[in-house]
Amino acid sequence: MEVIINSDARVASERAARVVARLVREKPDAVLGLATGSTPLMLYEELIRLHAQEGLDFSRVTSFNLDEYVGLDSDHKWSYNHFMWDKFFSRININPDNVNIPDGMVTDIPAYCDAYERQIAQSGGVDLQILGIGADGHIGFNEPTSSFASRTRIKTLTRRTVADNACFFDDDEAIVPRHCITMGIGTIMESRTILLLAFGENKADAIAATVEGPVAAMVPASILQHHADAKIILDESASARLQLAAYYRWVYEGKPEWQQDA
């Protein structure tokens, strides 16, 4: 696990975008695992800029999104499908046939989830997975106590996650869906590289537990301690509870040139 502390969320997002761009340039048919929510927005904005101004080519890229709400169709204004096309896909040259986002309207959810897993495997697996983190340490919608071996499946959201996500539903908790389809922790851990982004003081406790606490199902993101190539990209506020923050800065600043992200 590599912890990279940045001055602010913009600098952190641009650094993360350089990691993604480097992969896409080196492997034009890369498979990207993508996240939604407010955390990755500046990362997507920077990738859009790199596409428009520097010709970053997504035409052969395949994408798999982490999750979707059950009961929202792809055109619903609060669906993650709508989010991804509005905020990112419509502004780059990705092939729509290569975009994979869970379908919140399927009737046989277990069969659909099994098929989603097969699609990922048939694509060659995820080269780079982008993650945010919940204030309780969840990744994707893998809430506390989720199995580290879990695969794509239906999950019930915790009351805390429903409350946190109300900001995307006109601040009305009553209309936030209670169920979702999400990649499992086992699925996420098979990604070759993981970029977890966290910004703001409200993520500081979760980050401290993820990076420096014990590996425990109560903090799902803590399993990333066991991933071979997980980069935890933070702003100053999200790093505020880390005991070894000075060490993480020292390590990153002393990296040899060939290890630099861009």
Contacts with 221 (C-beta within 8 Å, 6 or more apart), sequence order = 131, 133, 137, 138, 139, 196, 206, 209, 210
> Active site includes 57?
no
- Which residue is catalytic, options 14, 46, 67, 127? 67
CA distance 74 to 69: 10
CA-CA distance, 218 to 215, in Å (whole number)?
A: 9
The active-site residue out of 14, 68, 136, 261 is 136
Q: What is residue 77's DSSP assignment?
A: T
CA distance 138 to 220: 5
Q: Is 67 a catalytic residue?
A: yes
Which of 77, 128, 75, 129 shows the shortest CA–CA distance to 103?
A: 75
Token pair for 50: 């790199």
Q: Which position among 68, 117, 127, 143 bears the catalytic label?
A: 143
CB 220 within 8 A of CB 142: yes
CA dihedral 153, 156, 160, 165 (to 10 degrees): 70
Residue 68 appears among annotated catalytic residues: no
| Helix, strand counts (H, E) of the chain | 8, 10
Amino acid in position 156: T
C-alpha span between 65 and 119 (Å, rounded): 12
Known active-site residue 138 = yes
Any idea which residues carry the catalytic annotation? Answer: 67, 136, 138, 143
